[in-house]
Amino acid sequence: MYSSSEIHNALAHFRSVCGNAYEEQDKLIRRIMRENSGTEYGQKYGFSSVSDIGSYRGKVPLTTFSDYDTYIGKITEGQRNILTAAPPVFYNISSGSTGEPKYIPICREDIDLQKLYFEDAIAGMISEAIPHNSENELFGHIFSLGDVFMTEMPDGTPNGIRSGIYYQTAFKDGRLDCSVFSAPEEAMFPDDLDNMLYVKVRFALADPDITAIHGIFAHRASPIFRFILNNWDSLLRDTENGTVSDCFNVSEHWKDYLKKNLPPAPERAEYLRSLPVGDLENNMLRKIWPKLKYIKLITGDLFGTHGDNIGNMIGDIPIHNFAYAASESIIGIAPEMSLKNRYVLLPDACYFEFRHINKLGEPKELVTMRELEKGERYDLIITTVSGLYRYDLADIVEVTGKYGEAPIIRICYRKDVVLNVSDEKLNTLQFENAMQLFMKKTGITANGYFISGNYDIFPPGYELFLETPDETDESFPSIFDSCLRESSINYSFAREVFEISEPSITKLHMGTIAKYDEKCRSEGRRTDQSKPLRIVNDKERIIWFEQFKEKKINGTQKA
């Protein structure tokens, strides 16, 4: 999967373009304008007469996803030369406020850049940080935590999510070396949206030579590690005997597959059984896989939250917080190991503009990379190689330093996200739409409501806190689940692939919201101009509300 020459060249390229980031940005925007001047979008906004950033801003408006609905509709219907001269080779699935699937066309250059940076350049950094190891000792046996489903558009063009773009297209084209993964290719790239957790864990536990764990987000990796811990005895029994215990939710297809392709491994089970169970959680991954060298995982600021103790399980294994990306584009990479929530913006992957945010959180002037100030916050505006122009990404970032001329940023918050337990990015409007549907379907009224993540179950789910004078019953979680599915395609997809459990509903005593407002006022916080409470992430606030719990109705549908 990785070769010395590829990772060396990729890392050298990264350092070179960052060292000349201002020039690379100028070259990129001129090239994007030139190559796409004959497109429908380029002709409408006069790309051919854009000579500098000033004329670009004068001719091309700031955009959001809704501005591209008509154009993308034409592209998915088979029309070409609409947003880009290059044809789409992949469609990223995202979601808007209505719950309808949104397809973002992705060009080949975008995928090549993702391979260059997210795979090869990061592998180069890992090789430098963990020297005196061969490629096989670092990258030869990878436990991949993510699922890449081989879904397609009606015309056969692959579609899916950003993290799977390279793997999905490379596998389809026969360019991916699957021998480095602990699970076989049938389990790595299933055709059906099935629950692959048990299958992939079984193959990983049977492999004593795992050298790396590759995941996406810590809040998605943590339940997988805890699944191993919580089901230790049953997993070891299955490993030893080549069986599938009834306690696991595994389809008949995958039961048969495991029996045929994963023979009994009594010696491996004996080794695992020799590990001290009472202290297994501490440095668990190193105990299970002694040859484990590193983990590739975006941890953000999640360590120490949700009570999941993921840090204990990982122990002393170095982590590379590899990428900053969105459905729309790749954006940045972490420049070294063990650096959390710090990313170098990639000068030849996007053209970046930055809308300065003042101390009150209000937007000010637009600036380029040359004009950024350390310690200041900015709303990120991107122009992509796949045809989004002056696109408001809705991410607020803070400049923390430079890597050459390229800015190093910290992701502060996303303007429109309300909840994100499995990369579904449910935003405020989607939640409000779901609540309106929910109240219409159930006939209840509500004095107040908000939503939070429940990370004490596997997989994690949503918990709706609801103050209502009306009666609630056992059907409500399922009804709320259906409303969320209607409002967010990403949530619906995460439910389909068993990454989110059915939500639970906590009914609060009447007057709880008023008590909370009074609490805020007593602490000196103004509430007369505050927006309604819609998302609660901090545990202390959840604990406060739980003391006013009247009853809780748990969802029943879990993986």
3-class SS letters over 56-108: HHHHCCCECHHHHHHHHHHHHCCCCCCCCCCCEEEEEEEECCCCCEEEEEEEH
Tell me the per-residue pLDDT of 522-545, one tens digit each, with 9 for 90 and over: 664 433 334 567 877 777 888 899
Same domain, 410 and 424: no
Residue 511's domain is classified under what CATH number? 3.30.300
In single-letter form, the type of residue at position 57 comes to R
Residue where one domain finishes, among candidates 414, 434, 452: 414
- Which letter does DSSP use for residue 330 in this model? E
Q: What is the 3-state secondary structure (H, E, C) of 454-511?
A: ECCCCCCEEEEEEECCCCCCCCHHHHHHHHHHHHCHHHHHHHHCCCCEEEEEEEECCC
The pLDDT assigned to 37 comes to: 97
Residue 383 contacts residue 351 (beta carbons within 8 Å) = yes
Q: Which of 167-176, 227-236, 516-525, 534-543 has the lowest mean pLDDT?
A: 516-525
481 has pLDDT over 90: yes
**Residue 227, token pair as written in the block:** 């699944």
Closest CA to 104 of 72, 137, 136, 148: 72
What mean pLDDT is reported for the chain?
A: 89
Residue 10 contacts residue 124 (beta carbons within 8 Å) = yes
Tell me the per-residue pLDDT of 141-158, one tens digit each, with 9 for 90 and over: 999 998 788 888 999 999
290 lies in which domain range? 131-317
Same domain, 352 and 267: no
In a domain, 115, yes or no: no
Which residues share a beta bridge with 408? 344, 401
In a domain, 464, yes or no: yes
**Residue 353, token pair as written in the block:** 């503009």
The pLDDT assigned to 217 comes to: 83
SS3 36: coil
Same domain, 332 and 364: yes
Q: How far apart are CA 546 and CA 529, in angstroms?
A: 25
The pLDDT of 326-344, averaged and rounded, is 94
Residue where one domain finishes, among candidates 381, 414, 447: 414
Same domain, 306 and 175: yes
Count CB neighbours of 496 within 10 A.
Answer: 14
Which helix (H) or strand (E) is 204 found in, with range? helix 197-206
Which class for 522: exposed (0-12), middle (13-18), buried (19 or more C-beta within 10 A)? Answer: exposed
Same domain, 377 and 294: no
Based on the structure, what is the number of domains in the chain? 3
Same domain, 541 and 424: yes
Tell me the per-residue pLDDT of 107-121, one tens digit each, with 9 for 90 and over: 999 999 999 999 999
Identify the band that residue 206 occupies on the pLDDT scale cut at 50, 70 and 90. very high
The pTM of the full predicted model, rounded to 2 decimals, is 0.78
**Residue 146, token pair as written in the block:** 């993510």
Tell me the per-residue pLDDT of 485-496, one tens digit each, with 9 for 90 and over: 999 988 998 898
**Residue 275, token pair as written in the block:** 């590990």
Same domain, 250 and 141: yes
Cα–Cα distances in angstroms (integers) from residue 289 to residues 199, 268, 280, 285, 292, in the given order = 18, 11, 12, 6, 6
- pLDDT, greater one: 324 or 539: 324
Q: What percent of the chain has pLDDT over 70?
A: 92
Cα–Cα distances in angstroms (integers) from residue 450 to residues 465, 506, 514, in the given order = 5, 10, 14
Q: What percent of the chain has pLDDT over 90?
A: 67
In a domain, 313, yes or no: yes
In a domain, 559, yes or no: no
In a domain, 120, yes or no: no
Which residues share a beta bridge with 463? 452, 504
Residue where one domain finishes, among candidates 274, 292, 317: 317
Same domain, 269 and 408: no
In a domain, 114, yes or no: no
Same domain, 426 and 408: no
In a domain, 123, yes or no: no
In a domain, 558, yes or no: no
Q: How far apart are CA 105 and CA 81, in angstroms?
A: 12
Which residues share a beta bridge with 544? none
Same domain, 375 and 296: no
Tell me the per-residue pLDDT of 383-392, one tens digit each, with 9 for 90 and over: 999 999 999 9
Which class for 22: exposed (0-12), middle (13-18), buried (19 or more C-beta within 10 A)? Answer: middle
Residue 367's domain is classified under what CATH number? 3.40.50.12780
105 has pLDDT over 90: yes
Identify the band that residue 450 occupies on the pLDDT scale cut at 50, 70 and 90. very high
Residue 467 contacts residue 512 (beta carbons within 8 Å) = yes
Same domain, 299 and 174: yes
Quick one: residue 271, left, alpha or beta (phi over 0 = left, psi -120 to 50 = alpha)?
alpha
Same domain, 352 and 381: yes
